[in-house]
Structure 1
Amino acid sequence: MDYKKEYKAPESYCNLSFDEPILNWDEGIPLGNGLTGCLIWGDGSPLNFSLDRGDLWDKRPASETLRDDFNYKKLIELVENKDQQGIRNLFDNCYNKPTPTKIPAGKLILDYGKVNNISSQLNIENAVADICIVKEEETSNIKSFIHATKKIGLMAVSNYEMVKELKIIAPRFGVKSDKLEDDGYKNEDKLHKSITNLVYPKIEFHKEDNLRWFVQRTAEDLEYGIILGQKVIGDNLYIVYSIGSSIDGQDWLEEHKNNILEALESGFDTMLIDHINWWKKFWEKSSITLYDKELEKMWYLTNYLFGACSRKNAPPMPLQGVWTADNGELPPWKGDYHNDLNTQLSYLHYLKANHIEEGESFLDFLWNLLPEGQEFAKKFFDAEGLCLPAVMTIDGKPLGGWPMYSLNLTNQIWLCQFFQRHWEYTGDDEFLENKAYPYLRETARCMLRWLKPGKDGKLYLPLSSSPEIHDDELEAWLTPNSNYDLSLLRYLFSTLCTMAEVLGYEEKSIWKEKLELLPELAVNENNVLMLCPDESLKESHRHHGHAMAIYPLDLLNYNLGGRDKEIIDSTIEDLEKLGKGLWVGFSFTWMSKFYSRKGNGEGAVFQLQLFWENLCSKNGFHLNGDYKSKGLTNWHYRPFTLESNMCAADSIQEMLLQTFDRVIRVFPAIPYEWKKNGTSFNDFRGMKGILISSSIKDDRVEYIHLKAHKQGEYTVQNKFNSELIIIKRKNNIEKVNCKVGLNFIVDLMANEECTITAK
């Protein structure tokens, strides 16, 4: 069977469909364009359009983070003195203050009064929501979308006279006249979830012809507003809205008013054309066909969520993307940027899914924060080089929190992986020279400030931890070096060696020397990766940071067999024995990655099924806990975050294709049913930017199609049931003999394509 490129849009079963009212904001229909987000929910009395904008932040710092002794040296001193309360007072309690925080924009409501029935659907192919309201003998339909490339949302409401009220609702922030403290801090012992703790000047509402809006000034220079325009044609009401902000410039309000008037004049259908064209191009980038249609739906829906909340030239997704909570409270964990897992998992899958431009939002964000990272390295770590806080604001400032994680030195290295992966998956050596290598080198300079020789001559950190192990207790300070810290350090210096070699830099010898001075990973008598040299994991735990070397760092390679295989097998078996009692959503998706690395497709799928069926909302949002109380885990809360959704999509991709060691392996970890009944993927991206497509059916790989981005040799594992390989190019056919399971080489010119089959 020869490969034929076909555009495969998401099928109808991948859509969201509700035949009853959506009563929770975190189950709403999600719309977005990377900057603006909307959640549609409610029973018609009213129907809510909860709005968010990705760059709306109250960035007022907690006073502790401005103190001269808010630094690593003081933290080391307090840890050495076992002063737990001192640690909490200076580094942790500041996180419990209301700011800094992501803030909601407000919402629009369509109030129909009491209705007989309401049904909703989201078509993810064109990113358009349809809501049907039935009241007595009448029906009203609302079609809604947020424009893919413009800063506006649109609605078309039929039989609009059924609508009792169309209204803009502003967030119920505290008002200075309420005699609340100006900083909003009433009690520093626990996090104040209510947004009334954010105290701002009184909101201003305005109206002008067919436009209305509000302006909310905050405690800083930021001001923003929701602007709404409407136009009646026949029995249809057309609504255009926008979230404007002073971030857009001095004349932001007039700019957004004009945008709305232009959109009303152009008409709903005209604006829809460009919107649909953008999403069509988005879906053309890659596709999959799975035997398991629920997991296929999860992959497509997750890619939709990614396209809706991450775009070039827009802020990257924080914990909730562009869907801040609409329940009168601050968003979960203040909607910040968590760099001890959350941001990293959120941007795992986009490269292989071939959504490069959308993913560059995070890469550009990190690069633009280079000055802030250098300043924080100097101020907090007393170091040259680069290090961002592990829990930070949109402008790279620390929020505090459990310092063993929120201010951990090596989390910065995990951010480095995005520069390395971007280089690997694009083959862009100019990017390597001008951005990737300098970013990693600056990070290494900061690490070297604190790596000191121990009695054995090896390099150790003064403080070490593994994310969220032992919570914020003194026991959380593990014996250096934890496997989490050590894995990241070994990754950093080995990657710098590789990069320096490609660039021909003599610095390679420096990085090689540092790598050789690092201890080996701590492995216990059962061949299990430990937390640190003198402690193994003894109970179920949500964060698999001690096993970073397996994934995502790939320091251990199961395909090599021997010691690496033994450690991976034993570590996974140990996690199985400890159980899932204290896991959250990302624990399952991360565990799925471990199974895929050892070729266990059944295990990889099972973890994803548990995640999808038990820890996700009706709209697909990951809710962290076993909120249905099925007994899957001991966590029964439901704070919404996105990282596990993206991690799950990446896990599916790793089951279908692996190229991490520069060998193209198709279908390395899929269940037998998938092999038998048919599975395929199109235009997944591999190393050096090569696009890969493949299909398997009746337990036989039908073809592998390659399209090279740049000239080079590409190593492919023979997954065919034949030792005779046929490589078909445009002008010739080549035959290669290769034993099943071994590798063969394909030479390709830039932009050249070939189809590989077996006789």
Structure 2
Amino acid sequence: MNMIKFRIVIISTLLLYGNFRTSAQEIYAGRYKAVFTAAPKKVPTAKTPDGPLAGNGDIGLTLGGSPDKLCFYLGKNDFWRAYPVYPGGGIALPGWLEVKISALRGADYYAEQIQDKALITGRFTKKGLGVDMKAWVSATSNTIVVEFTATEACTLKPQLNATQGNTAVNTAGTTARISWVTRAFEQGPLLEWPCRVAMAMKILGAKAAADGSIQLKPDQRIKLVITMYTDQDDKNWKERSIKEAQQLNEPALAKLKEKHEAWWKDFWSRSNVRIGDPFMEKYYYASQYLFGATSRGGKFAPGIWGPFVTRDSSAWGGDYHLNYNYQAPYWAAYSSNYIDQTDNFDQPLLDYMDKGRQHAKDLLGMKGIYYPVGIGPKGLVTTRWPLTPDEMEKRYATREHTIDGGYKFLGQKINAVFSVGNMLMRFYSTYDTRYAERIYPYMLACADFWEDYLKFENGRYVIYMDHYGEVMPNLRNKGIWRDMLGDFNSTLSVGLVKMLFKGMIDVSSFLNRDAGRQEKWQHIVKHMSDFTVAEVNGRLSLKSVEKSPSPWHSGVNGLARVSIHGLILPGGVCGPKTDSVFNQILLGDVAAWKEKMKGTGQWANTLGNGIETCFPAAVRVGYDSDEILTYLKDRINVQSLPNLWITAEGGGIETLAAVPLTINEMLMQSYEHVIRVFPNWNRAKDAAFDQLRAYGAFLVSSKLEKGQILYVRMSSEAGRKCMMDNPWPGKRVQLIRNGRKAEVLNGKTFSFDTQVGEKLELIVVPGS
């Protein structure tokens, strides 16, 4: 090749692939922000706060209070009271910064949550006085910055507080003009490990008076800078907090702000979508922002409320609830190309393996691992029954506080396997050898349990006594709860166990491990019980379980949230590509959701739980996309907060996956390792996406305009064979490799080999 031709190839390749790093921050995310015209009403709270939010995936800042008494609540994913019962145990609140501005009593309130910059701003006005506030949590350090300016002179009085009570030990002091506070859980009956936190504050731009107050002059800028460490971060947690606060000055903060903005710019460059619907795009990018502020690789995994904890004893202890709440927040991250944000997911599960083996052996006489409903970090169990018969009777109407050895399994054996779904999503999305080696022991322990637990009867594997829903004593069913035990072949169990053994075959083959066990695993997959269906009003519909003593479980309930977990998310064993005949039954069940609606926003019955499950599942089975989006908008309008967090009664951060996953599944799917672009999208509506991640470790971009797909662009990370449904049915397709025309493909579905790092483009052959 001569130099001129070489330059032409390079230039054409750059033109083809130059937009691979197009930033959603620059295009779309920057358009959307959350606006607040009144002070938050749900701060503090045991559940989801409604105030402006900022975070770095470890530290969360929640703004509460009124203009004259602003409260900046500081949560942290690794600050736990490691006690096995809630309330009392679970994630805890380190403390808060209170800023009193008495001149603003009764002032007007205005704030913004600016998501592309991960910044909270506020303007509080009363007559001629206007006070402006900016707050952000550094994306790259344990630092929080709160900045104030004013149009007229006024007095600010900041106070850093550590939460007290709940057996905590508190200290406070001043070191070289650095104010600091600490909170620690150090000892006590059943405390599994100590946990301590320090917060240190430095004032820049002014000097505090003896009483701690600051005189803010017109147009003067002051900054309250807080550093925050736990003993999970550093054994010298207190010293480090104070030392880093001392070292912060204006040049250091400027560098920190530069790194902060660069981190978020990179975050927004990972992927983007453009669907011509400002309402849905607003919630799409808001959900991505909130997840980016909630979860970070290398840090503790977020619990139910993420780091946005505003009081002790959050609902359900803010723990890792393993029967979907813990897993669901991550589901959109894989296809959105936020793989590094999911890097904290596995550690709590791995840390609990020794206890899980003990549970399996002691309680069931089985091999492998058996997990309760809720755990925490570092091998912590959070879901023990109340420790005394009296407390048990008060809360659950029975004095039996040693059910299942004193642990809440709630009739469910499947909790450990639930998390395998996330592990497989990441594995199939990356084909990362190191990651596969990390998760394989956990998956193998799950396989050990289910090989032991399954029964082979009449030519099929069946599952006894694993329950579709939680079965437990409570104030309503009193002593009859045991009469509800006995589910046989729950759709949840059958689907997730099938998923497990399909995954075992794939991951063990990839790692070249345990070849001698694959015959058994293949036999289980092939002979696993079918999902149970029955006729309703002249059509077939899904049953929740094959048999159950519970009237609710034994009925024909159709496809619902819990069944979806086994079949579609995270199960991934059903869909149009897997079994088109069975998929028609599921599609009919989704269509029947309209008949069960009791009001606006109640399609799929997701006000309590399941918005992140039911809407993407409806997309996957092929229900009309325009109807789905209409119902999703209704659901959001009925139950969401000013900070754009879509809420559910039974959980918190899980809802952050709802809109991104629904949209991603409309624009691209890759389950069963077949890539489909715009598989469930109204072709009359223009849309485009960049760098959505597909199974096989492909980054995919495409554009639909005036009813035509203009191109499909891909980057191959792992060099695997690509299988794709033809984006142009009936047409021949030109494959372009690294800017050069290569083979021509045709057929309803085609495949082609790829190389690591290869850039690929597919376009329709003119005239074909």
Cα shift at 1:379 = 4.1
In the other structure, the counterpart of 1:39 is 62
Give the TM-score taking structure 2 as reference length.
Answer: 0.82
Listed as ranges, the matches of 1:81-160 within 5 Å are 97-113=86-102, 114-159=105-150
Counterpart secondary structure, 2:60: strand
Cα shift at 1:105 = 1.4
Q: Is the 8 A contact 2:544 2:556 kept in 1?
A: no
- Which one of the candidate residues 313, 316, 326 is aligned to 2:301? 316
**Quick one: structure 1 residues 213 and 519, their matched pair in 2 at CA, closer, same or farther if it must change by over 3 Å?**
same
2:157 is aligned with 1:165: yes
Counterpart secondary structure, 2:227: strand
2:418 is aligned with 1:414: yes
Cα shift at 1:278 = 0.9
Listed as ranges, the matches of 1:375-386 within 5 Å are 375-386=358-369
Q: Which has the larger displacement, 135-144 or 33-42? A: 135-144
- Which one of the candidate residues 178, 194, 199 is aligned to 1:226? 199
Q: Is the 8 A contact 2:161 2:181 kept in 1?
A: no
> What's the CA shift string for 1:368-410, capped at 9, x where partnerless?
4444433443444443322332211223414146978656211
In the other structure, the counterpart of 1:588 is 611
Q: Is the 8 A contact 2:541 2:558 kept in 1?
A: no
Cα shift at 1:265 = 5.4
In the other structure, the counterpart of 2:541 is 528
In the other structure, the counterpart of 1:753 is 759
CA distance in structure 2 between the aligned counterparts of 1:471 and 1:483, rounded to whole angstroms:
23
Listed as ranges, the matches of 1:730-745 within 5 Å are 730-734=738-742, 736=744, 738=746, 742-745=748-751
> What's the CA shift string for 1:555-595, capped at 9, x where partnerless?
22213564222322233244443446654254333221222
Counterpart secondary structure, 1:254: helix
Q: Is the 8 A contact 2:609 2:651 kept in 1?
A: no
Cα shift at 1:697 = 1.4
CA distance in structure 1 between the aligned counterparts of 2:282 and 2:223, rounded to whole angstroms:
32
Instruction: Letter of the 1:418 partner, please give it.
Output: N
Q: Is the 8 A contact 1:127 1:279 kept in 2?
A: yes
CA distance in structure 1 between the aligned counterparts of 2:70 and 2:267, rounded to whole angstroms:
29
Instruction: Letter of the 2:448 partner, please give it.
Output: R
CA distance in structure 2 between the aligned counterparts of 1:715 and 1:584, rounded to whole angstroms:
38
**Quick one: structure 1 residues 542 and 262, their matched pair in 2 at CA, closer, same or farther if it must change by over 3 Å?**
farther
Cα shift at 1:52 = 0.5
**Quick one: structure 1 residues 149 and 406, their matched pair in 2 at CA, closer, same or farther if it must change by over 3 Å?**
farther
Counterpart secondary structure, 2:752: strand
2:731 is aligned with 1:723: yes
Listed as ranges, the matches of 1:24-423 within 5 Å are 24-25=42-43, 26-62=49-85, 97-113=86-102, 114-159=105-150, 162-173=154-165, 198-201=166-169, 203-218=170-185, 220=187, 221-232=194-205, 235-264=220-249, 266-326=251-311, 330-396=313-379, 397-400=381-384, 406=410, 408-423=412-427
Cα shift at 1:130 = 1.3
> What's the CA shift string for 1:329-350, capped at 9, x where partnerless?
6212221111101111111111
2:703 is aligned with 1:703: no
Cα shift at 1:721 = 6.6
Cα shift at 1:266 = 3.5
Q: Is the 8 A contact 1:585 1:615 kept in 2?
A: no
2:688 is aligned with 1:686: no
Counterpart secondary structure, 1:567: helix
**Quick one: structure 1 residues 41 and 497, their matched pair in 2 at CA, closer, same or farther if it must change by over 3 Å?**
same
In the other structure, the counterpart of 1:444 is 447
**Quick one: structure 1 residues 100 and 545, their matched pair in 2 at CA, closer, same or farther if it must change by over 3 Å?**
farther
2:519 is aligned with 1:519: no
Give the TM-score taking structure 1 as reference length.
Answer: 0.83
In the other structure, the counterpart of 1:663 is 674
**Quick one: structure 1 residues 502 and 567, their matched pair in 2 at CA, closer, same or farther if it must change by over 3 Å?**
farther
CA distance in structure 1 between the aligned counterparts of 2:455 and 2:651, rounded to whole angstroms:
40
CA distance in structure 1 between the aligned counterparts of 2:167 and 2:368, rounded to whole angstroms:
37
In the other structure, the counterpart of 1:604 is 628
**Quick one: structure 1 residues 537 and 102, their matched pair in 2 at CA, closer, same or farther if it must change by over 3 Å?**
farther
Cα shift at 1:517 = 4.7
In the other structure, the counterpart of 1:426 is 430
- Which one of the candidate residues 625, 641, 653 is aligned to 2:652? 641
Q: Is the 8 A contact 1:715 1:744 kept in 2?
A: yes
> What's the CA shift string for 1:589-618, capped at 9, x where partnerless?
322122211332123323421332222211
CA distance in structure 2 between the aligned counterparts of 1:355 and 1:228, rounded to whole angstroms:
33
CA distance in structure 1 between the aligned counterparts of 2:473 and 2:626, rounded to whole angstroms:
32
Gaps in structure 2 of 5+ consecutive residues: 1-14, 44-48, 188-193, 207-216, 386-395, 397-406, 475-480, 548-552
Q: Is the 8 A contact 1:589 1:611 kept in 2?
A: no
In the other structure, the counterpart of 1:564 is 582
CA distance in structure 2 between the aligned counterparts of 1:239 and 1:350, rounded to whole angstroms:
33
**Quick one: structure 1 residues 461 and 746, their matched pair in 2 at CA, closer, same or farther if it must change by over 3 Å?**
closer
Aligned sequence identity (%): 18
Cα shift at 1:536 = 4.4
Cα shift at 1:53 = 1.0
Q: Is the 8 A contact 1:339 1:391 kept in 2?
A: yes
**Quick one: structure 1 residues 247 and 7, their matched pair in 2 at CA, closer, same or farther if it must change by over 3 Å?**
closer
Aligned-residue CA RMSD (Å):
2.8
Instruction: Letter of the 2:68 partner, please give it.
Output: S
**Quick one: structure 1 residues 590 and 14, their matched pair in 2 at CA, closer, same or farther if it must change by over 3 Å?**
same
Q: Is the 8 A contact 2:270 2:336 kept in 1?
A: yes
Cα shift at 1:430 = 4.8
CA distance in structure 1 between the aligned counterparts of 2:718 and 2:560, rounded to whole angstroms:
41
Q: Is the 8 A contact 2:568 2:574 kept in 1?
A: yes
Cα shift at 1:457 = 5.8
Cα shift at 1:733 = 1.7
CA distance in structure 2 between the aligned counterparts of 1:142 and 1:562, rounded to whole angstroms:
56
In the other structure, the counterpart of 2:392 is none
2:39 is aligned with 1:21: yes
**Quick one: structure 1 residues 353 and 467, their matched pair in 2 at CA, closer, same or farther if it must change by over 3 Å?**
same
Cα shift at 1:653 = 0.8
Counterpart secondary structure, 1:506: helix
Q: Is the 8 A contact 2:205 2:221 kept in 1?
A: yes
> What's the CA shift string for 1:485-541, capped at 9, x where partnerless?
111122222222333444551311011233345322221134222121135446799
CA distance in structure 1 between the aligned counterparts of 2:236 and 2:411, rounded to whole angstroms:
39
**Quick one: structure 1 residues 476 and 295, their matched pair in 2 at CA, closer, same or farther if it must change by over 3 Å?**
farther
In the other structure, the counterpart of 2:646 is 622
Q: Is the 8 A contact 2:411 2:485 kept in 1?
A: no
Counterpart secondary structure, 1:512: helix
CA distance in structure 1 between the aligned counterparts of 2:53 and 2:616, rounded to whole angstroms:
27
In the other structure, the counterpart of 2:494 is 486
**Quick one: structure 1 residues 678 and 753, their matched pair in 2 at CA, closer, same or farther if it must change by over 3 Å?**
same
**Quick one: structure 1 residues 111 and 337, their matched pair in 2 at CA, closer, same or farther if it must change by over 3 Å?**
same
**Quick one: structure 1 residues 268 and 430, their matched pair in 2 at CA, closer, same or farther if it must change by over 3 Å?**
closer
Q: Is the 8 A contact 1:3 1:704 kept in 2?
A: no
Q: Is the 8 A contact 1:30 1:37 kept in 2?
A: yes
CA distance in structure 2 between the aligned counterparts of 1:590 and 1:388, rounded to whole angstroms:
22
Instruction: Letter of the 2:383 partner, please give it.
Output: L
CA distance in structure 2 between the aligned counterparts of 1:425 and 1:620, rounded to whole angstroms:
28
Q: Is the 8 A contact 1:529 1:547 kept in 2?
A: no
